[in-house]
Structure 1
Amino acid sequence: MVKAAAADRLPEVLDATYACLSRYGVRRTTMDDIAREMGVSRSAVYQYVRGKDDAVRRLARRLHDRALERAEAAAVRAAPPAERVHGILAAKLDLVLDLTGRSPHTVELLDPNARLSGDICNAFTARLRTLLAEQFAAAGLGDRDGGPPGAPAHRDGGPPPSADPANTAATDTDVLTPTRAADICLALVIGLETAPDAARLLRPATDALLTGLLPRPTPPSRT
């Protein structure tokens, strides 16, 4: 059983786990590898985590929680809606680019179907979806699908599919809801994740997309 008093060295365990995953991948990493990376015995590592699976899950949660903190900070920033939306999407893209840029193995921590961390990935995306939907609702985009802003648009309640934004975009304002607009934005950032120079492209791509998604200000009436 993990000792609560030993939690002060947990960050070191997770750092060592990350280093090992970068070299060997999730499947090939062992507790011996993590212990060797830390310079301690394997039994010492068990004071902080229950095993390799626990270490991987804790690492995945730490990475996603940090990205979510950035997204939530962007969502409440004193800035125009477009800037807040960009900040939320940037938090997701930065997480992906950071992991994929370090090692091909760390991409496993982003796989929504991964045995150890898939639920963490899906919960992260679902929370981003809610944050985005809230931005569009607050900007005045009416939620005409009968559900509250951020409610799942898919029956399974999971994250939106990795679709082309052009295929997801609504052509009728009656179906352009905050949740659908959020799905379109997520589809955009997912599409950028594998694009060259993705970080530079995010800003212009988001600005162009939001031109069609955010409600236009109503001009003052002339009486």
Structure 2
Amino acid sequence: MPELSEVRRDHFMRAAIGCFARYGYRRTSMDVIAQAADVSRPALYQYYRNKEDVFRDAVRWGLDDLARRAQIEAGKPGETSERLAAVLSVVVDLHLPRRDGARFDAELIDETRSRAGDHWTAFEQTMVEALLTVLGRPLDDLARVLFYGAKGIAVQLDDRDEALRLLGRLTSFAVHGAPGLR
């Protein structure tokens, strides 16, 4: 198969992610992806054998982008709890509805785990490493609790502002402890 240029791959991946988020894995076809990418179906097949290949590449492309964003946030200066919240806001953004109403919902999470679990595992590990960068010491359990806590907040809420507020509270509790408890 011919090699995709970065620009063309980005174009295909944006179209594919939009389709998978909007219609789900099962209802997305190569025709739908090709239409969204404004190419013919045969043109898409030049680069991908089937829908699962497109899906796996889209998952990797999207999660790699989010992981890069998290790593950038981890490297910025600031208070620990605010930096943790900034890293974890990436998880919130992954799960919240997009402007077009599409979202990374339970069906896509299940499909990602079954069809591209290796990419999801690598993403989770990168997120934990970004959190450990902020924490500055080996607190793997705390980093994992924060990651999964952010994921839980994101999955339960459709309001980004409220999700970020709760995320701020979670990271503050993790760093400073809950007020009144001791």
- Normalised by the length of structure 2, the TM-score is 0.78
Structure with the higher helix share, 1 or 2: 2
Task: Encode CA deviations 1:129-186: one digit per residue, 9 max, x unaligned.
Answer: 1221332235xxxxxxxxxx2xxxxxxxxxxxxxxxxxxxxxxxxxxxx112112212
Which is higher, the Rg of structure 1 or of structure 2? 1
For the residue of structure 2 that corresponds to 1:49, the secondary structure is: coil
Give the distance between the partners of 1:84 and 1:20, measured in 2 at CA. Answer: 32
1:14 corresponds to: 13
What CA distance in whole angstroms lies between the structure 2 residues aligned with 1:96 and 1:117? 17
CA distance in 2, matches of 1:17, 1:133: 32
Aligned residues of 1:60 and 1:120 also touching (Cα < 8 A): yes
Give CA deviations for 1:82-101 in whole Å, capped at 9, x if unaligned: 12101111011111114697
Which residue of 1 is the match for residue 67 of structure 2?
Answer: 68
Question: Deviation digits for residues 10-40 of structure 1, max 9, x if unmatched?
Answer: 2232233234324532123222332333443
Tell me what 1:184 maps to.
145
Aligned length: 177
Instruction: Describe the shift of the 1:95–1:132 C-alpha distance in structure 2 as closer, same or farther (beyond 3 A).
Output: same
Tell me the CA shift for residue 207 of structure 1: 4.1
The residue aligned with 2:77 is 78
Q: Which residue of 2 aligns with 1:118?
A: 117
Q: Matches of 1:80 and 1:63 in 2, distance apart? A: 28
Separation (CA, whole Å) in 2 of partners of 1:71 and 1:121: 15
Structure 1 length normalisation: TM-score?
Answer: 0.65
Amino acid in structure 2 at the alignment position of 1:103: A
CA RMSD of aligned residues (A): 3.0
Shift of 1:53: 1.2
Corresponding residue number in structure 2 for 1:205: 166
Letter in 1 for 2:82: E
Q: Assess, with a 3 A threshold, how the Cα gap between structure 1 residues 107 and 207 changes in structure 2: closer, same or farther.
A: closer
CA distance in 1 between counterparts of 2:93 and 2:158 reads: 12
Return 5+ residue gaps in structure 1 as ranges: 139-148, 150-177, 217-223
Residue of structure 2 aligned with 1:194, choices 143, 155, 160:
155
